[in-house]
Structure 1
Amino acid sequence: MNIFVPGRLCIFGEHSDWAGGYRHLNPELKIGYTLLVGTNQGLYAEVKPHPNQLILSTSLSDGTRKTMTLPMEKQALLSEAIKGGFFSYAAGVVYQFLVKLQTPLGGIEIDNYLTDLPIQKGLSSSAAICVLVARAFNQVYDLKMPIQEEMEFAYLGEITTPSRCGRMDQACAYGNRAIAMKFDGDRTDIVELSVPKDLFFVIVDLGASKNTQVILRKLNECYPFASNAIQANVQKYLGSISYQITQAAIEAMQTGDAQQIGTLMKQAQIEFDKHLIPACPEELTAPVLHQLLNYEPIQPYILGGKGVGSQGDGTAQFVVKDKENQQKVIEIIERDFPQMQCLQLTIYAEKSS
């Protein structure tokens, strides 16, 4: 069987998944709300059953190959998962299948023969591998799981590792389509969105560095109850401000209004910087990100831009009017910033049947 799982781009509402999750401890907090889309790039794999082992071979985006073989035993899988490291995500997902499913499972062989998604750049490459493993078991053993159950196993597998992702990352299970997710305590609601015309984005790996763990630790310190003005501002942005901007962006997307999406991106970045940089200035000041967002030569070709994922100097995104502008922005950035790498992202209009 062949499986493709894309990465995931959070267009609006970053951090609001875990922030909304704190509502079960503090009901005064606002619901989290995100707008997400699967990338055009991802992980390609061939999968087949194996009698008693998990065999995972992966091809990284630079072409190098790695292979892991583990017995289908809870302790071996758990040990690999909690070590962290490259193969921990797959081991965590398989461990969860063994723990949660009543029916005994055989093993699985997964050959991830091609990866064209940048790793550790805010595009949920770790969630993509988790969804890939969950989907492989679902299809090989005909478990008849709906997408949301695949996502749940992928999420449980990822948090078995040292990773502290929120629940939005597994949205890559929906493929290359836009979805909205709401996070209210332990409850997650998903709405599949349709767009009336193609929307064009440019994703930019800034070729710099950031520490996502530090960002998440500093921002999580602001929850569930704020003890000072900085923490109150973090809760305000990740609550009501982010919610309103995301709601407006969803409306703009469903009418195909790229200009409005661009305006909202600029607004979101201004508010993010004002409310969140003081909580983690060492990572969120992000000089490389802001240099690119404000870079004069690309301004005629973009409608707006903002940071991606946890923000910091990891990845930027821009919305543009059409394919020609998409190409022009990529040419300028790759010419003037050789350390940066650009990806095209097109959200395709729903084809009327």
Structure 2
Amino acid sequence: MKDIAAAAGVSRGTVNRVLNGGYVSPEARTAIEAAIAEVGYVPNTAARNLKRRRSEAVGFLALEPHAVLLEDPNIGAIMLGANAVLSLAGYQMVSLVIDSDRDTERVARYLSGGFVDGAIIVSARAYDPITRLIAQIAMPAVFIGHPPDLDNAIPFVGIDNVGSAREITSRLIATGRHRIGMIACALNRDSGGDRLDGYRQALGDRFDPALVAEVPHYDYLGGVNGMRELLEREPGIDGVFAASDAVAAGAMQVLREAGRDVPGDVGVVGFDDSAWAARTQPPLSTVHQPAREIGRHAAELVHRQIGGQTDVPRSVLLPSPVVWRNSA
């Protein structure tokens, strides 16, 4: 500040007002801004944040294995939507990937150390230690989806997975299919369990648990393995609801290898309306998940909490309509 004041020919108090948003004359501001450029001054953000007890950063926690994280286009879209809002608010988004117990311990220390002011959590599982830590330390946070073991003390943003799964399964039934299976994924999360519930509701008395193949992740390999399992159990299967588009793409590959035409022999539907849906042949009937909007809403909610607002809604559910194409 002394160097800037000397270069601009003003007092240090005037420089202080400019740096901290106070009023000075237009002439003084112009001189000070020119002096800042001349001396190459950059504010010490770490020192400023230490004084304010703010990091001006929000953690983005993806509780997924590395392979799934890189393959899932929804997580990337959620991240970009969140970053757009945080960037406008002057916040840095810090990505924290949790793929092992060691990652969990490291990230838990990081969150407890005050390095971020809030957190956005994607793919939270039931009884996850990270979600419990965030609840314990009362950190401003938002979940994408709702961990089934937590109450509504922490806000969440999501979609109606049950209703959307029920609707697309009903559309599949309406095409005249009689033996409809499901490749169910991630049943330790609300999204996985809810999509299975919606499928079960649509089938009603026709539901057959033998036609549900359970796989751990929303990924292409899960679709491959799940479809092979369904074909072994029921060679006459004529419809498949895959819990994500990546899973549906894997299932369609197995059906092609088995000589089954899609949609002639087997109708296939997915969930997400991601880039996978456009890559499949034929294009995939699916449920649209507004991933970027989910990220934007999550960032807005966590920013409002950091700012001390008390009227933050406990939940935000966004529309998730069926997008019908040619795979069923």
Instruction: Name the TM tier (shorter chain).
Output: under 0.3
Structure that is richer in strand per residue: 1
TM-score where L is the length of structure 1: 0.23
Relative to its length, the structure with more helix (as a share) is 2
TM-score w.r.t. the length of structure 2 is 0.24
Which gives a bigger RCO, structure 1 or 2 (Cα 8 Å, sep 6+)?
Answer: 1
